[in-house]
Amino acid sequence: MTYAVILAGGVGSRFWPFSRELEPKQFMRIIGEDSLLQSTIKRLKGVIEPKNIYIVTNNIYFYEVKEQIAKFRISDKNIILEPQGKNTAPAIGLSARLISKKDKEAILVVLPADHYIKDLGKFKQVIKRAIDCAKDNLLVTIGVRPVNPSTGYGYIKVKAASSVGCFRVDKFLEKPNLNKARLYIKNKNFFWNSGMFVWKASVYLKEVERYLPDLSKQLSLIKTKDDINNVWQRIKPISVDYGIMEHAKDIALIPADFYWTDLGSWDALAEIFPKDKKGNILSADTFNLNSEGLCVFSRGNRLISTIGLKDIVIADTPDALLVCRRDKTQDVKRLVEKLKLLKRREHLAHLTERRPWGSFTILEERVGFKIKLIEINPGKRLNLQRHKSRAEHWVVVSGRAKITIGGKVFSVDTNRSVYVPMGVRHRLENLAKVPVRIVEIQTGIYLGEDDIERFEDDFKR
């Protein structure tokens, strides 16, 4: 039987400031009404049944994935959780191990969750050909004909084509510098590495045993999902390209005859949106004079004005602004790494943060106080908690909230307020069928999100 393994645990740091560690790009609606993850699942309709679609992701994204896959009738049991990201070789190995326990002949279609693909009919045909090829115990990869000398993709060099329309792979090559990339695209034997693979679970696990024996040993200790936490900390991060594909011998490549991009950077996104006569993408509220090759994207509501720019990307959010040359968009990842080292909040989350119960938005933050807008979804409640360093004032601005403060439980209607003293247990709850919105004013000596002691949590955090 054939299964899909969708890799949805990445951070997508090159897509900052839209993508953050707590809201990576695979969960965002970038093109159309669906998130990138949902688009990936939709692409498989008619090829793989929903019951055979698995998603590998990080523990912290469980409730986001659960919400996004609900409309596809994919069971929560098909979400495979990594305690920490260990790159693609362990993630694929984990899914191969768990699926092969129930189906020794399983064929896996491995797909990243953040690709953009047109021509879905052709995509499905390619995947079906790859599945047939994988039945011959080959590692099958999907290769894309280069259209420019990209330094953001790895490359694959192939040998002559076989009679069934696939190529035997000569070697995998890491991301090149610009001079090498220019040489590669002149040679018809070079393809971009799309990161899409098809193979038997048993064949992949044998390759792991051959080339990554330490990983194989740890995976062999996993009998059920309950074993993952005990094993995962001993696993070393490594990509499937470096760990397996650069060494394996029996690899076949099937060319992708559909439009593909991995949306790995702002420049990749710029290829998709329509442009004006001067090559500008002005997808926000922009007033522009005499610019060329300008790309403006915004999640805010302010006017962006530009004059005389050339080949520049502007990505604007309420709390962070990125301005960079289009040929430097791959370096955004380095910038995010520095933000993380500096412990800047902007690498981690937006001003609006999603939670399993709803969301909150930071409206204002100064020394000594913070103002939030909290939205609680129908039938949801926050955990029972208390804070050591802050007190809170709540004003219900819409809906009706059920509130616990100390030993008292009561309801608060719109335009009413309550006070939560420092150190007192409290909880917010929404029993209605419409969202409840509350303005929260925090006061105290420390207002960090980690000042929280949980006692009861519906989401087991």
Where is mean pLDDT largest: 103-107, 257-261, 269-273?
A: 103-107
Model confidence band, residue 455 (pLDDT cutoffs 50, 70, 90): very high
CA distance 399 to 431: 10
The predicted-structure confidence for 303-348, as pLDDT tens digits, reads as follows 999 999 999 999 999 999 999 999 899 899 999 999 999 999 899 9
Q: How do beta strands 107-112 and 2-7 pair? A: parallel
Look-up of token digits 């720019």: 309
Model confidence band, residue 166 (pLDDT cutoffs 50, 70, 90): confident
CA distance 377 to 379: 6
Tell me the CA distances in angstroms from 136 to 20, 250, 270, 351, one per residue in order. Answer: 41, 10, 39, 51
The half-sphere exposure of 361 on its side-chain side, counting CA atoms within 13 A, is 9
CA distance 395 to 6: 42
CA distance 295 to 283: 8
Q: How do beta strands 401-405 and 426-429 pair? A: antiparallel
Domains along the sequence of the chain with CATH:
2-264 (3.90.550.10), 267-331 (no CATH), 352-456 (2.60.120.10)
CA distance 137 to 197: 13
pLDDT at residue 167 tops 70:
yes
- CB-CB contact of 142 with 194 (8 Å): yes
CA distance 28 to 368: 33
Look-up of token digits 């890491």: 174
* pLDDT, position 370: 96
Opening angle at CA 117, ends 131 and 242, nearest 5: 60
More confident residue, 265 or 219: 219
CA distance 32 to 416: 39
The average pLDDT across 409-429 equals: 96
Model confidence band, residue 269 (pLDDT cutoffs 50, 70, 90): confident
Amino acid at 181: A
The average pLDDT across 26-55 equals: 93
**3-state SS class at 244:** helix
Amino acid at 39: S
CA distance 294 to 314: 8
Model confidence band, residue 267 (pLDDT cutoffs 50, 70, 90): confident
